[in-house]
Amino acid sequence: MKIFNLLILLMISVSLKCFATGQIPDSITIKNIEYRLHTNPLKNYLAKINWQQPDNISISTAN
């Protein structure tokens, strides 16, 4: 039991010093220009070129 408590204490103390880092953003290449993707970067571009979604599209968050 003493070893278990020591292990728990060790895990808690190690986890307090861990920090998360940002993930590498996705990118897309359009006409040989690479753009970094963040939240909704294409919304303005798609409106500018008057892009319409296809009729047979399926919208899902599980891409």
What pLDDT shows up at residue 19? 64
What pLDDT, on a 0 to 100 scale, did the predictor assign at position 23? 66
Per-residue model confidence as pLDDT tens digits over 10-56: 877 776 666 666 567 788 899 999 887 766 667 788 889 998 888 88
pLDDT: which is higher, 10 or 59: 10
Model pTM score:
0.30
Following DSSP, what letter does each residue of 14-53 receive, concatenated? Answer: HHTT----PPPPEEEEETTEEEEE-SSTTHHHHHHTT---
Q: What is the pLDDT of residue 49?
A: 94
